[in-house]
């Protein structure tokens, strides 16, 4: 599995949890004490939080079960590790 896949799977679960609520990104972000665009970047897979605490609070607000929280933690760990892996160098000259 590629690094991008790990981040995408984490983001997909965040989106799934968010979609079960009747709350907007803005509403959830205010309750989490974070910027709306930050929360949206997490759910879009454009960023991964360096700390699990906001993810745990997000899961609680979205009514995640214990099993879902464990899976979210597993996916977060993989996504954080994926973001820390060095990216392959692009060959010069577009080859």
* Topology of the domain comprising 3-85: 434 Repressor (Amino-terminal Domain) (1.10.260)
Two tokens at 76?
């977060």
Residue indicated by tokens 């099993």: 67
**By C-alpha distance, which of 91, 95, 83 is closest to 3?**
83
The pLDDT assigned to 27 comes to 96
The pLDDT assigned to 95 comes to 47
Helix, strand, coil share (%) of the chain residues, nearest 5: 70, 0, 30
pLDDT in tens, the chain (95 residues): 576 899 999 999 999 999 999 999 999 999 999 999 999 999 999 999 999 999 999 999 999 999 999 999 999 999 999 988 766 655 555 54
The pLDDT assigned to 28 comes to 96
The pLDDT assigned to 11 comes to 98
């Amino acid at each position: 599995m590629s690094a991008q896949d790990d981040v995408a799977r984490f983001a997909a679960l965040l989106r799934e949890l968010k979609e079960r609520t009747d709350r907007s990104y803005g509403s959830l972000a205010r309750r989490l004490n974070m910027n709306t665009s930050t929360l949206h970047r997490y759910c879009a897979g454009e960023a991964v939080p360096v700390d699990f605490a906001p993810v745990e609070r997000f899961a609680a607000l979205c009514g995640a079960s214990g099993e879902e929280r464990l899976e979210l933690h597993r996916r977060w760990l993989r996504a954080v590790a994926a973001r820390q892996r060095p990216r392959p160098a692009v060959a010069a000259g577009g080859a």
